[in-house]
Amino acid sequence: MDKKPLRPNAKRSKGGRGFKNASFIVLIMLIGLISYAAYRQPSTQQEIPITTAVQQANDGQYKKITVTGDELQITKKNASQPTLKAYKEDGTSLKDEGLNYNKVQVSIKPASGTGAVIGSLAINLIPVLLIGGLLYFMLKSAQGQGNQALSFGKSRARLYGNEKDKVSFKSVAGQAEAKQDLQEVVEFLKFPKKFSSVGARIPKGVLLVGPPGTGKTMLARAVAGEAGVPFFSISGSEFVEMFVGVGASRVRDLFAKAKKNAPCIIFVDEIDAVGRRRGSGMGGGHDEREQTLNQILVEMDGFEQGQNVIVLAATNRADVLDPALLRPGRFDRRVNIGLPDRPDRQAILEVHFHDKPMASEVDLDALAAKTAGSSGADLANIANESAIIAARNNHTQISQADVTEAFERVAIGPERKSKVMNDHEKELTAYHEAGHAIVGHVLPDSDVVHKVTIIPRGGTGGVTWFIPPEDKSYHNILEYKDILARMLGGRIAEEVVYGKERVTTGAGNDLQKAAELARDMVINQGMGTKLRDQVFHVEEGMMIERMVHEREYSDDTAKVIDQEVEALITEAATRARAVIKHNLKYLEALKDKLLEKETVDAEEVHALFTGSHLPKEAALY
Ligand code: ADP
């Protein structure tokens, strides 16, 4: 998303450049002055009185005298260059001074005087120029800042559309439905008459809804590219500044610019930054945001038919948008853009690996299978990381190992091989990871183990990696409970092996994630025991710089929610404990293998765990 040709501080940096220019010119002037001074340095010729010069000339000691104005340059008999100089009186001739012209060769040059004139001019002018120059640049940079203040209300939208490499629908892999929906927008822009002639109202706004990195910006640019119209891009958050009224004036400016360039597309990224529901007092609902939002609505209503400006807006939270934005005549069309499914992931990977040399062994199909839940941006990142890793390893082609490393790096952060762990810590990590693995392996509704490692990665000591065999859109309670138990598997393994009081902080992250999942189950998914099929709304927002949660349930319910969460966690811990205690042999086997090899992959884990079983105490059905 490197599309920021005109950053807000562009003006400022121009001011800075002006200042740099000024100092550069001052420097040049100084250098000139110094070299002039050097040039003016007294020459090494010795000055003698005119009478001595005449006398010595008459004595036949000189070869030549060159007269320029009043100055005599004297070359002695045995010298090749003048070594002496003398000055005659103004207006007198050498004959008047008593020179015998037969004794020496005399040549007379007209006195130019330009050198002296330039010299004195320069000396007088340089300070004036210096001061003048400084004043000029000071004024100019001050003016620059003034301009900046004046341009505050100008929108900072970036205009695209003239680049050579226009984005088209072909550059966006997958997303067939979204493209189909947007194809219509392309038609509106290309052939407005076709629609207006039958009385159809061309939509003014289209909302692109989807998680970050799924290609919303790309699709919007592709619409502009396909229709061959300019594309103004701005982020919702760029409207809002500290000063009230700026956002609204930026909106006015943006729409005015767009109308001048019609037909065109305005793309507002992160519209939720300004378009949140008004009046709740939450979500930073201050006047400025509301004014900006109102102005957007006013501008959209103000489009006349046939004006042909279409606003595309992107958000990943359509639920928080103000209903006024979604009314007919505004953003009344919605295009949902989801995370890519497996074939789409493969297509995206192919697009991004397309221009990179790859070994024939590289299996993008398998990579697509492993990357469930990744966005297009994540996949683009994997492709780029693969190329970087290949280059770092001095490969001429990207190998399968490079791709695997890139995938793991993007998914859980780079390996930190340099982090030194002592033997006890290593053993503890091995038990911890083996705990996750055995619990996940044994429980029937958990995903399969993909890889276990005790090499620190990202912020963790080790990683046990589970990958679902196929893309899943929904999870049931049994699956969630198994996930909870395997999350606690690490902590419980430590407890079973070392004792209750010797568990470590290594599980901090697991516990936090488990708590989040359990709370989500109870609050948002209606998966509690007492609170089954009920959800509890908590609105999060910022209020005077503070995060606040506004809940719509009583204190009594809050207490029950806490009890439900606790029950889920306790149950998960009990199940994990039962699995580990009944399968200690397998836990030990994987721990030993981890200490030996540090990373154990899926096949080996499955081989080591052959014979492990689900104890009655851990079974849910
Ligand atoms: P969003 O606006 O939804 O956050 P972007 O459009 O900025 O996402 O996408 C970020 C990057 O991800 C793009 O520059 C592109 O490299 C990659 N990408 C996302 N989706 C796709 C796709 N369907 N096909 C190809 N590349 C994609």
Q: Is the pLDDT of residue 489 over 90?
A: yes
Contact 18/140 with Cβ under 8 angstroms?
yes
Residue 202, ligand 1, Cβ within 6 A: no
Task: State the angle between helix axes of 477-498 and 584-597 in degrees (0 to 180), rounded to the nearest 10.
Answer: 80
Ligand 1 near 376 CB (within 6 A): yes
- Find out whether the beta carbon of 464 lies less than 6 Å from any atom of ligand 1: no
Please check whether residue 581 is in contact with residue 492, taking contact to mean a CB–CB distance below 8 angstroms: no
Catalytic residues: 433
- CA dist 470 → 202, 402, 483 (Å): 41, 24, 16
Q: Which of 306, 9, 265 is closest to 159 using CA atoms?
A: 265
Most confident of 9-13, 167-171, 210-214, 575-579: 575-579
Question: For residue 460, what is the DSSP state?
Answer: B
Entry field: residues in the chain? 621
- 555 pLDDT exceeds 60? yes
Q: Is 312 in the pocket of ligand 1 (CB under 6 A)?
A: no
Q: What's the gap in Å between 218 CA and the centre of ligand 1? A: 6
Phi then psi for residue 446, to 5 deg, are: -90, 165
Res. 193: pLDDT tops 80: yes
Look up residue 193 and give its amino acid: K
Sequence-distant (6+) residues with CB within 8 A of 40 are 119
Asked if residue 339 has its Cβ within 6 Å of ligand 1, the reply is: no
pLDDT computed for residue 116 by the predictor:
63
Say if residue 15's pLDDT is above 50.
no
pLDDT digits (tens, 9 = 90+) for 243-260: 566 777 888 888 888 888
Nearest to 277 by CA among 341, 344, 322: 322
pLDDT in tens, 280-317: 555 444 567 777 888 888 888 876 655 788 889 999 88
Tokens of 270: 């992160």
Q: Find the 315 Cα to ligand 1 centroid distance in Å.
A: 14
Q: Measure Cα distances from 331 to 114, 267, 319 in Å.
A: 77, 12, 13
Q: Tell me, what's the pLDDT at 245? A: 65
Confidence of residue 542 (pLDDT cuts 50, 70, 90): low
Top pLDDT among 587 and 185 is at 587
Q: What angle do CA 315, 307, 241 make, to 5 degrees?
A: 40
- The preferred substitution site among 167, 208, 214 for testing ligand 1, maximizing ligand atoms within 8 Å of CB, is 214
Angstrom distances, CA of residue 450 to CA of 447, 514, 518: 9, 20, 24
356 Cα: distance to centroid of ligand 1 (angstroms): 18
Q: Give the atom of ligand 1 at the shortest distance from the alpha carbon of 340.
A: 23
Q: In angstroms, rounded to a whole number, what is the distance separating the alpha carbons of residues 618 and 621?
A: 9
Please report where in the chains the tokens 């993007």 appear, as a residue.
410
- 313 ligand 1 Cβ < 6 A: no
Q: Which ligand 1 atom is at minimum distance from the Cα of 175? A: 23
Helix (H, G, I), strand (E, B) or coil at 476: coil
**Distance of CA 375 from the midpoint of ligand 1 (Å):** 8
